[in-house]
């Protein structure tokens, strides 16, 4: 994947730009800005650049060697990567003082919670976190990974849930169930879910978890059946009273969606946690911009890339 947006880098313009986040939005922004002669530094909490393209997607879904090749091209023309350290509020203020512009491209790494009884039991994991840790383990950045033996229940109906099923199978689960509150045909991942069914995953359509049971470790999940009803011109799943039933499990992977990575102190966000920006990708703080999933919510890689380039052009306009 080529992040560099030129064949020849322009003469250095004497100003520095900090990009927080080495995912698609940040990398494409860097690829544009370095071509225009700006001094670009990328900061990321992970030990390797690439964001969710490296740590959040299966190798079968993304060509990671091409991504790594594109990152090396950025390094060769002068983009400096600062990896393995999370930017906290104190570091964010330091970057604002040291750099002429700061772009926040931290993505959507925080998982939604079910907020039901038993969610904190051992054996219950958030799928997105587990997938990231699985790749950290696979690439040698961590020594251990919790094993998923026996029966694993995956909760959700999107692509994260699909990937969680494949990984659960790879790390040792003998039986995999997937609970989805809607019908399979309603999911954007319909085809992927049907492929899982062909591979032996038991799809529990129109079900939703209401509580998890166990002493210290999860043993059962109580599910309720749902029906799709129309409310305020929307079709929403609603629990059918008295329809609860229990399934025995050894592990649970919760995959009901992600929300933007929490913003830094002083940054204005909306009710969904997204950073507020104007038409020029500017936040409420001077010289601070935002692009990608952190300002638009979870989306596809291509859209985050485009937002990163547009934000880079807005930064160029400010500094030009």
pLDDT digits (tens, 9 = 90+) for 167-201: 999 999 999 999 999 999 999 999 999 999 999 99
Q: Is the pLDDT of residue 250 over 90?
A: yes
Same structural domain for residues 175 and 240? yes
Same structural domain for residues 230 and 126? yes
- For 74-122, write each residue's pLDDT tens digit: 999 999 999 999 999 999 999 999 999 999 999 999 999 999 999 999 9
Pairing of strands 124-126, 245-248: unpaired
Q: Quote the pLDDT of residue 232.
A: 81
Q: What is the pTM of this model?
A: 0.95
238 lies in a domain?
Answer: yes
Pairing of strands 110-111, 258-259: antiparallel
Same structural domain for residues 119 and 190? yes
Count of domains forming the chain: 2
Decide which of 234, 254, 274 is a domain's last residue: 254
Query: Which domain CATH number covers 180?
Result: 3.50.50.60
71 lies in a domain?
Answer: yes
Question: Is there a contact between 260 and 274 (Cβ–Cβ < 8 Å)?
Answer: yes
Q: How many CA atoms lie within 13 A of 78 on its CB side?
A: 16
Same structural domain for residues 285 and 272? yes
Decide which of 254, 273, 299 is a domain's last residue: 254
Decide which of 198, 221, 254 is a domain's last residue: 254
Q: Quote the pLDDT of residue 141.
A: 97
Query: Residue 309 — pLDDT band, cuts 50, 70, 90?
Result: very high
120 contacts: CB under 8 Å, gap ≥ 6:
none
Owning domain of residue 220: 113-254
Question: Is there a contact between 313 and 30 (Cβ–Cβ < 8 Å)?
Answer: no
Question: Is there a contact between 237 and 208 (Cβ–Cβ < 8 Å)?
Answer: yes
Whole-angstrom CA distances from 260 to 12, 48, 273, 277 are 33, 20, 6, 14
Average pLDDT in the 255-266 region? 96
285 lies in a domain?
Answer: yes
Give dist(CA 275, CA 291) in Å, integer.
Answer: 9
23 lies in a domain?
Answer: yes
3 lies in a domain?
Answer: no
Query: Residue 320 — pLDDT band, cuts 50, 70, 90?
Result: confident
Q: Is the pLDDT of residue 234 over 90?
A: no
Same structural domain for residues 90 and 134? no
Query: Residue 50 — pLDDT band, cuts 50, 70, 90?
Result: very high
Q: Is the pLDDT of residue 240 over 90?
A: yes
Give dist(CA 287, CA 280) in Å, integer.
Answer: 11
Same structural domain for residues 129 and 99? no
Q: Quote the pLDDT of residue 170.
A: 96
Same structural domain for residues 128 and 160? yes
């Amino acid at each position: 994947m080529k992040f560099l947006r030129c064949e020849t880098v322009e003469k250095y313009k004497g100003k520095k730009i900090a990009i927080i986040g080495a995912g698609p939005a940040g990398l494409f922004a860097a690829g544009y800005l370095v071509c225009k002669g700006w001094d670009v530094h990328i900061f990321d909490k992970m030990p390797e650049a690439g964001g969710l393209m490296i740590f959040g997607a299966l190798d079968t879904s993304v060509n990671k060697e091409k991504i790594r090749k594109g990152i090396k091209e950025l390094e060769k023309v002068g983009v400096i990567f600062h990896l393995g350290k999370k930017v906290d509020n104190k570091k964010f203020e330091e970057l604002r003082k040291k750099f002429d512009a700061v772009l926040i491209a931290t993505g959507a790494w925080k998982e939604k919670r079910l907020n039901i009884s038993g969610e904190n039991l051992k054996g219950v994991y958030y799928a997105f976190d587990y997938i990231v840790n699985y790749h950290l383990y696979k690439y040698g950045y961590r020594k251990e990974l919790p094993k998923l033996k026996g029966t694993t229940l995956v909760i959700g109906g999107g692509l994260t849930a699909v990937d969680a099923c494949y990984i659960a199978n790879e790390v040792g689960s003998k039986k995999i169930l997937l609970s989805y509150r809607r019908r399979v045909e309603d999911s954007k991942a319909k085809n992927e879910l049907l492929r899982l069914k062909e591979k032996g995953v038991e799809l529990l359509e129109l079900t939703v978890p209401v509580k998890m049971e166990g002493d210290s470790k999860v043993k059962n999940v109580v599910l309720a059946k749902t029906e799709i009803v129309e409310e305020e011109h929307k079709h929403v799943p609603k629990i059918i009273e008295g329809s609860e039933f229990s399934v025995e499990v050894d592990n649970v992977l919760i995959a009901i969606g992600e929300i933007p990575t929490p913003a830094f102190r002083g940054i204005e966000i909306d009710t969904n946690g997204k950073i507020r920006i104007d038409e020029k990708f500017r936040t409420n703080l001077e010289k601070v911009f935002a692009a990608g999933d952190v300002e638009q919510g979870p989306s596809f890689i291509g859209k985050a890339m485009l937002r990163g380039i547009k934000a880079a052009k807005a930064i160029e306009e400010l500094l030009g």
